[in-house]
């Protein structure tokens, strides 16, 4: 049933419910239609706790960086570091 569609008729959604739910679990937003008109949307649930942990980690790193005066160095950009790493 993986036809790349994000719109499914009620009949198709009923026939392939498990596959549609699996696609939503993987991050897709799927629309259920009746007579060509959108009537419902199936969306993945966002793990708010994981989002909060990532946000805290980034904020913690920024605080640590600022407290310890961590920099890339004079006249050095992230792009230059990436390009340097690609040489090896």
14-73: pLDDT as tens digits: 999 999 999 999 999 999 999 999 999 999 998 899 999 999 999 999 999 889 887 777
Q: Are residues 53 and 82 in the same domain?
A: yes
Domain around 23 = 7-42
Shared-domain flag, residues 38 and 54: no
Pairwise CA distance, residues 52 & 54, whole Å: 5
Query: For the whole prediction, is pTM greater than 0.75?
Result: no
How high is the pLDDT of residue 70? 79
Check pLDDT > 60 for residue 2. Answer: no
Question: Is the same domain home to 67 and 82?
Answer: yes
Q: Identify whether 1 is part of a domain.
A: no
CA distance 58 to 65: 10
30 and 54 inside one domain: no
Q: How many domains are there within the chain?
A: 2
Higher pLDDT, 16 or 80: 16
Same domain, 34 and 57: no
pLDDT of res. 3: 62
Q: Is 33 helix (H, G, I), strand (E, B) or coil?
A: strand
């Amino acid at each position: 049933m993986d036809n790349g569609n994000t719109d499914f008729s009620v009949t198709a959604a009923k026939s392939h419910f498990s596959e549609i739910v699996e696609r939503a679990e993987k991050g897709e937003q799927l629309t259920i239609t009746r007579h060509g008109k959108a009537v419902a949307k199936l969306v993945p649930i966002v793990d708010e706790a994981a989002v909060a942990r990532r946000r805290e980690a980034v904020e913690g790193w920024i605080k640590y960086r600022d407290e310890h005066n961590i920099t890339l160095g004079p006249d050095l950009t992230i792009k230059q570091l990436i390009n340097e790493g690609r040489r090896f």
